[in-house]
Amino acid sequence: MNYSLSTLWHERPRYLPGIGAVAFSAVLIALQCGLLLGLFKITSIPVDHTRADVWIGSPEVLSVDLGRPIPMSQLSRVAGDPRVAVVEPYYQSFGSWIKPNGGSELCILIGCSLEDDSLGSITELTPELRAALTEPLSVVVDRAERKNLGVNIGDYAEINKQRVRIVGETSAGLKSLAGAYVFCSRPTAAQVLRGVMPKDHITYLLLKCHNPADAEVVAAEMNQEYKDSHDMTVMSSSQFSTRSRMHWLIKTKAGIALGYTALLGLLVGAVVTSQTLYAATVASAKEFAILLAMGIPRWRITSMVLVQSFWVGLFGVLLAYPCIHALAWLGTLVGVFIPLPWELLAMSGGITLVMALFSGLIALRSVRTIEPMSLLR
């Protein structure tokens, strides 16, 4: 092992491209997977930031932002279930946001109950914000979206040709892929959405179970009980969150493109690393031939090449981590949040390290062709 490190140091011009390729691959994999993770969190914000145990939506709803209106009468159907403690109507629909200067943006209007124990109120809506939303036709937006929406607190705007007033803001970076989240009370949502939402209809019913641990069982049993009516889909919050995330990952071009880019980074890094190690091994052919002539077993040389590949991979990963955090920090400056949990960093490091070892195995092709007789040429 010491010999391998010494060789790497003295022959570093040969191996630096390989270390750089490994670092590039680790950076690309970590950032692309981080973007995917951030995408996951964005697509399921309304589900993940609320207190509901079970969501009831339109038949075969694919994602939380794609819910269709369902009759309010379904509330009485589930309210009497002995496993259900609370049932709460919930509005969510796309709307046309007209800025004070006349420009327009797409927004996602969310209307929920404003009580302290509300199931649909996101955790970022403080008691002060919920109190402000009791004002008729008032809304709250996120600070990160104020610039896109062209408003400040106290300004007026229009949603679906209905004048609303901005009475507050959240500061948690609640951004969406499709449009800015706009939060309001249920009466405000009903009035703003009256042109696109049939009367006595809502988007979701939120349920609180007596035993939250039974959420998935309750959802499965309700789906079985009401399957003949074909008028609702029942999911636990975790199931609905996963469904929303997977929809955006595998059924939208954005998710597919990010996944493809991460795979492309892995392949490019593997090719460059394998070619670099192969070239470095071929360049050391004379030294390996001398070792063979001295009686060193070929397997020892093979293990030395693999150990060198390990060190190339390890140094590349160590070089990548500062670059990953620096690029993620630069992303926040332009409004791109890239979460980097330690599990993600460990995964990207492990993948690139295995890739480097695999590249070392490919480089062993040159070792098999080395013979001591080559010293006489």
Give me the phi and psi of 135, to 5 degrees please: -65, 130
CA dihedral over 237, 241, 246, 252, signed as positive or negative: positive
Strand partners, 24: none
Structure-token pair, residue 107: 């927004």
CA dihedral over 294, 300, 302, 303, signed as positive or negative: negative
112 near 183, Cβ under 8 Å? yes
Distance CA(207)–CA(78), nearest Å, equals: 9
* Selection from 106, 131, 122 nearest residue 183 by Cα: 122
Distance CA(133)–CA(186), nearest Å, equals: 10
What is residue 373's predicted lDDT score, i.e. its pLDDT? 57
Query: Between β-strands 162-170 and 138-142, what pairing exists: parallel, antiparallel or unpaired?
Result: parallel
CA dihedral over 41, 46, 49, 55, signed as positive or negative: negative
What is residue 203's predicted lDDT score, i.e. its pLDDT? 94
First-to-last C-alpha distance (Å) of the chain: 30
Residue in the structure block whose two tokens are 């009686």: 295
Distance CA(121)–CA(50), nearest Å, equals: 6
Distance CA(30)–CA(348), nearest Å, equals: 6
Residue in the structure block whose two tokens are 């607190």: 153
pLDDT tens over the chain, length 377 residues: 444 555 555 566 666 777 777 787 788 778 877 877 777 777 788 898 899 999 999 998 988 888 899 999 888 888 888 888 999 999 999 999 998 888 888 899 999 999 988 999 988 899 999 999 999 999 999 988 888 888 889 999 999 989 999 999 988 778 777 788 999 999 999 999 998 888 889 999 999 998 888 899 999 989 888 877 778 899 999 999 989 888 877 777 766 776 777 677 667 766 766 676 666 666 666 666 666 667 667 677 677 777 777 777 788 888 888 988 898 888 777 767 788 888 888 888 888 788 777 777 776 666 666 655 554 45
What is residue 3's predicted lDDT score, i.e. its pLDDT? 47
What is residue 31's predicted lDDT score, i.e. its pLDDT? 82
Determine which helix (DSSP H) or strand (DSSP E) holds 168, and give its type and residue range.
strand 162-170
CA dihedral over 141, 147, 149, 154, signed as positive or negative: positive
Distance CA(153)–CA(142), nearest Å, equals: 11
Distance CA(301)–CA(108), nearest Å, equals: 63
Per DSSP, helices labelled H in the chain are 2-10, 12-43, 45-48, 74-79, 127-132, 146-149, 186-192, 215-225, 237-250, 253-283, 285-293, 298-333, 342-368
Give me the phi and psi of 16, to 5 degrees please: -60, -40
Cβ burial 36-45 (10 Å sphere, 16+ → b, else e): bbbbbbbbbb
Query: Between β-strands 70-71 and 84-98, what pairing exists: parallel, antiparallel or unpaired?
Result: unpaired
247 near 63, Cβ under 8 Å? yes
What's the predicted TM-score (pTM) here?
A: 0.74
Query: Between β-strands 180-185 and 162-170, what pairing exists: parallel, antiparallel or unpaired?
Result: unpaired
